[in-house]
Chains A and B, each alone.
Chain A
Amino acid sequence: NAGVTQTPKFQVLKTGQSMTLQCAQDMNHNSMYWYRQDPGMGLRLIYYSASEGTTDKGEVPNGYNVSRLNKREFSLRLESAAPSQTSVYFCASTQGSSGANVLTFGAGSRLTVL
């Protein structure tokens, strides 16, 4: 039982490059989330998806796009990376409103934008 799997674990980009962070969960959870973690700023919600086919903006959505590909997968895309997007990104999932809202987290993806 892998839980929440994120790829890649580490990535270095140049300003203006694009990339996609992948996330998959095998717990049949309805809701999935992307957060960024920055020193002194805590965890900030970028986007979330309450169910397959729906996505909603979180606290800091600018510069990002997401796709809920199916119930298992939720990807985060940076179309034109900026140094301000240097961060550790966490994907998480939960059963959602039909059940407990306890989040299961991935291991994180450390992104550096030069």
Chain B
Amino acid sequence: AQRVTQPEKLLSVFKGAPVELKCNYSYSGSPELFWYVQYSRQRLQLLLRHISRESIKGFTADLNKGETSFHLKKPFAQEEDSAMYYCALSGDRDDKIIFGKGTRLHILP
């Protein structure tokens, strides 16, 4: 069975400090991993996906198959990064896409 685990419900970080949101997954095949973000009063939207290997708004995430992790990182937090972040997994056997429980990131001034 596929599973996505985000161990932190809330993460508070000072502005300018580094951010790391953890995501671990369980899947026996070749998954595709995503980070979605939900800003206040906005729709859920894609932040980045592992196959793109791109940096969006200063965030990066590397898929580590050995540790089954896809942690989201940003070297210097900004106040506008405050939001709810969800890690998601899409498997290679069907079209099911599941999410973790989410981490609320709060950037302190």
Are A and B co-members of a single complex?
A: yes
Number of A-B contacts (CB under 8 A): 58
Report if A2 contacts B (CB, 8 A): no
B34 to chain A, nearest CB (A): 7
Complex contacts, A89 vs chain B, CB 8 Å: none
Contacts A90-B44, A105-B45 given: A48-B101 contact, CB under 8 Å? Answer: no
Residue of B nearest to A4 (CB): B43
User: Which residues of chain B are near A40, meaning CB under 8 Å?
Assistant: 9, 101
Q: Which residues of A contact B43 (CB under 8 A)?
A: 105-108
Q: Report the bound CA distance from A82 to B87 in whole Å.
A: 29
In the complex, which residues 11-59 of chain A have their Cβ closer than 8 Å to any Cβ of chain B? 31, 33, 35, 40-45, 48, 50, 56, 58-59
The reply to whether B94 and A101 form a contact with Cβ atoms under 8 Å apart is no
Among candidates A56, A90, A94, A105, residue contacting B94 with C-beta atoms closer than 8 Å:
A56
Residues in chain A near residue B94, CB distance under 8 A: 50, 56
Which of chain A's residues have a CB closer than 8 A to the CB of B34? 101-102
A97 at the interface (CB under 8 A from B): yes
CA distance A42 to B84 in the complex (A): 10
- The residue on A at minimum CB distance from B6 is A42
Complex Cα distance, B51 from A100, in Å, reads 10
Q: Mark each residue of chain B from 74 to 109: 1 if its CB lies under 8 Å from any CB of chain A, else 0.
A: 000000000000101010001111111110000000
- Interchain nearest-CB distance for B28 vs A (Å): 17
**Interface, chain A (partner B; CB < 8 A):** 31, 33, 35, 40-45, 48, 50, 56, 58-59, 90, 92, 94, 96-97, 100-103, 105-108
In the A-B complex, the 4 residue pairs with the closest CB atoms: A42-B101, A43-B99, A50-B95, A105-B44
